[in-house]
Amino acid sequence: MAITVRNLAHVFESPEREIREALRELNLDGKPVLTSIHPPYGVFYAWSQDEIDEYRANLVSRLTSLKERIDALDRISLDPVQMELF
């Protein structure tokens, strides 16, 4: 059963950002506490390697998308005339 990050933040009276950081730390400590990418959304303990693999694939996809955006930004070169338009 999953509980949302928002609900955890309410229960622990902490900002959602702190809850997400705690989840990250749990993963770094080897704990399979994940967030679901399909309904019902929320935080859950992974009970199978398939759940971990699916979550990992989602992270890789997000990383790939972010890398594409970073590379696109690296190719942008604004000239002074372009800057004056804004």
Q: Which tens digits make up the pLDDT trace of 63-84? A: 999 999 999 999 988 776 666 6
Across the chain, what does the average pLDDT equal? 91
**Ramachandran area for residue 42 (φ above 0: left; ψ -120 to 50: alpha; else beta):** left
Position 37 scores a pLDDT of 80
Q: Using one digit for the tens of pLDDT, what is the confidence trace for 41-64?
A: 899 999 999 999 999 999 999 999
Looking at the domain assignment, is residue 83 inside a domain?
no
- In our burial notation (b when 16+ CB lie closer than 10 A, e otherwise), range 61-74 reads eeeeeeeeeeeeee
Residue 81 lies in a domain: no
> What is the extent of the structural domain holding 61?
5-76
Counting every residue written for the chain, the total comes to 86
- 13: in domain: yes
The pLDDT score that the predictor gives to residue 24 is 96
Q: Is residue 29 part of a domain?
A: yes
The total of structural domains in the chain comes to 1
Assess if residue 69 is contained within a domain. yes
34 belongs to a structural domain? yes
Instruction: Let me know if residue 85 belongs to a domain.
Output: no
Count Cβ atoms below 10 Å from residue 34 Cβ, excluding itself: 22
* 82 in a structural domain: no
